[in-house]
C-alpha cells in the first residue's frame, strides 16, 4: 500500500508542473538522446548504449519510488554509484567519444573549388585505372577537414604536387613505400608509407578482405577522410567512408563514384549517405562487380566479340 501511495504521489507531483515546462524538458531530453545515438550509430557501442539507457531509466524510477526511510540504503547506494558508473561509461566508450569530438569539429563542406576537385578526380582516375589494370595494391587517403598529422609523422613526408605518375610510381611493387598508405591533402601528396589503424575483424563486411581494406575502414571510422583501395588480388577498387566499405567496382566506374563522393556534403548524416550510396550503386548497375571471376569472364567475352568484328571487317 505504501508502494502504491508513493507512485500516486509521484504522478500527482508531475501534474503540478506547467505543461509547457514538461514539454520543453521532454524535448531537450529527446534531442540529447537522439544526437548521442547519431554519434554511435553503426558502432558496437550502439546496442550496449540502448541497454544501458533502459536500465538507467528503470533503476532511477525504482530509486525515486523507494526513496523513503524503509529503503534509505538503496537510495544511498544509488546516489554513490551514479558517479562511478558515469566514469566507467567514459572509459568503456572512449573510442566512440573520440570520434564524436572529431566530428563536432568537422566543417560541413569540402573546401575545394570545383576546378580543384576536377583535377583531383582526373589524377586519381588515371592512377587507379593503371593500378587496377596492373593489379598493384594501393591505399590512398583523401583528407577533408580532419588532418592526420599524428599518423603522417610515422611516414615519409613528400609534399609533392598530386600527379597520377607519382602515385603509380609509389605503389609499384618493389618500391620502398608501396606497402603502406598515401595521404593526399588537397592538391598535394602530403606523405607516403603511412601506417593506418586497422579495423576490428567484426567490423569488416567480408572476413576475406586483407589488411589494406581493414586499414581503410579503420581510418575512415576515426575521421572524415575518403579512402581509396585497389585490390592486388582482383584489381577491383573500393571506397571507404564513415567506416562503410563500398562494393568493389572496376576502373570504368571509379571516376563517377569518386566525383559524387567528393561533391557530396561530408557533414550529412549516415542515414542520408547510405541512401545516396544505394542510388549511386543503382545508377552504375552493370558496371559494379563484386565477383572478380565474373569481371574476367565479361572482359573475355568483350575481347572475343571485338576479335569477331575485326575478322568480319
- % pLDDT > 70, the chain: 67
What per-residue confidence (pLDDT) applies to 284? 41
Going from the C-alpha of 310 to that of each of 223, 238, 300, 303, 307, the distances in angstroms are 51, 34, 15, 11, 5
* Mean pLDDT in residue range 172-201: 91
Give the C-alpha separation, 125 to 119, whole Å: 10
* Mean pLDDT in residue range 275-287: 45
What per-residue confidence (pLDDT) applies to 214? 93
Most trustworthy range by pLDDT among 132-141, 207-216, 266-275: 132-141
What per-residue confidence (pLDDT) applies to 94? 74
What per-residue confidence (pLDDT) applies to 223? 84
What per-residue confidence (pLDDT) applies to 278? 46
Phi, then psi, of 166 in degrees rounded to 5: -65, -40
Confidence check: pLDDT of 233 > 70: yes
- % pLDDT > 90, the chain: 25
Handedness of CA 260, 261, 267, 272 (dihedral sign): positive
Tell me the per-residue pLDDT of 45-78, one tens digit each, with 9 for 90 and over.
Answer: 666 777 777 888 788 777 766 665 566 677 777 7
Give the C-alpha separation, 187 to 78, whole Å: 56
What per-residue confidence (pLDDT) applies to 5? 67
What per-residue confidence (pLDDT) applies to 182? 96
* Mean pLDDT in residue range 112-116: 69
Residue ranges covered by each domain of the chain: 2-104, 114-301
What per-residue confidence (pLDDT) applies to 285? 41
Going from the C-alpha of 89 to that of each of 62, 71, 98, 182, the distances in angstroms are 21, 27, 13, 35
What per-residue confidence (pLDDT) applies to 301? 44
Q: What is the mean pLDDT of the chain?
A: 75
Decide which of 311 and 17 is more confident: 17
Confidence check: pLDDT of 190 > 70: yes
Confidence check: pLDDT of 188 > 50: yes
Most trustworthy range by pLDDT among 89-93, 119-123, 295-299: 119-123
* Mean pLDDT in residue range 232-254: 89
What per-residue confidence (pLDDT) applies to 135? 93
Of 35-44, 83-92, 110-119, 206-215, which range is least confident?
Answer: 35-44
Confidence check: pLDDT of 108 > 80: no
Decide which of 29 and 168 is more confident: 168
What residue has cell string 575478322?
311
What per-residue confidence (pLDDT) applies to 298? 43
- Asked if 292 and 209 touch (Cβ cutoff 8 Å), the reply is no
Give the C-alpha separation, 157 to 190, whole Å: 6
Phi, then psi, of 158 in degrees rounded to 5: -110, -50
The CATH number corresponding to 114-301 among 2.60.40.3500, 1.10.10.10, 3.90.1150.10, 3.40.1700.10 equals 3.40.1700.10
Decide which of 262 and 104 is more confident: 262
What per-residue confidence (pLDDT) applies to 92? 75
What per-residue confidence (pLDDT) applies to 156? 92
Confidence check: pLDDT of 268 > 60: no
What per-residue confidence (pLDDT) applies to 44? 57
Amino acid at each position: 500500500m505504501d508502494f502504491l501511495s508513493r507512485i500516486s504521489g509521484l504522478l500527482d507531483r508531475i501534474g503540478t508542473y506547467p505543461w509547457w515546462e514538461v514539454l520543453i524538458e521532454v524535448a531537450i531530453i529527446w534531442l540529447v538522446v537522439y544526437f548521442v545515438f547519431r554519434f554511435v550509430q553503426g558502432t558496437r557501442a550502439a546496442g550496449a548504449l540502448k541497454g544501458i539507457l533502459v536500465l538507467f531509466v528503470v533503476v532511477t524510477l525504482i530509486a525515486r519510488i523507494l526513496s523513503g526511510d524503509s529503503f534509505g540504503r538503496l537510495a544511498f547506494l544509488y546516489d554513490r554509484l551514479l558517479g562511478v558508473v558515469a566514469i566507467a561509461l567514459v572509459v568503456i566508450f572512449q573510442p566512440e567519444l573520440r570520434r564524436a569530438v572529431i566530428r563536432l569539429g568537422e566543417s560541413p563542406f569540402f573546401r575545394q573549388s570545383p576546378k580543384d576537385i576536377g583535377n583531383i578526380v582526373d589524377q586519381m582516375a588515371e592512377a587507379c585505372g593503371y593500378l587496377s589494370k596492373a593489379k598493384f595494391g594501393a591505399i590512398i587517403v583523401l583528407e577533408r577537414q580532419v588532418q592526420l598529422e599524428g599518423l603522417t609523422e610515422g611516414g615519409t613526408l613528400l609534399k609533392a604536387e598530386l600527379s597520377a605518375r607519382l602515385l603509380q610510381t609509389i605503389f609499384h611493387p618493389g618500391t620502398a613505400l608501396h606497402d603502406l598508405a598515401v595521404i593526399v591533402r588537397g592538391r598535394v601528396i602530403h606523405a607516403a608509407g603511412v601506417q593506418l589503424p586497422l579495423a576490428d575483424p567484426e567490423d569488416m563486411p567480408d572476413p576475406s578482405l586483407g589488411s589494406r581494406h581493414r586499414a581503410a575502414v579503420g581510418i575512415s571510422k576515426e575521421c572524415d577522410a575518403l579512402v581509396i583501395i585497389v585490390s592486388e588480388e582482383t584489381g577491383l577498387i573500393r571506397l571507404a567512408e564513415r567506416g562503410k566499405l563500398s562494393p568493389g567496382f572496376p576502373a570504368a566506374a571509379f571516376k563517377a563514384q569518386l566525383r559524387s563522393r567528393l561533391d557530396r556534403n561530408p557533414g550529412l548524416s549516415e542515414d542520408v549517405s547510405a541512401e545516396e550510396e544505394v542510388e549511386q550503386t543503382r545508377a552504375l548497375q552493370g558496371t559494379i562487380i563484386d565477383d572478380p571471376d565474373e569481371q574476367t569472364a565479361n572482359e573475355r567475352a568483350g575481347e572475343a566479340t571485338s576479335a569477331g568484328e575485326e575478322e568480319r571487317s
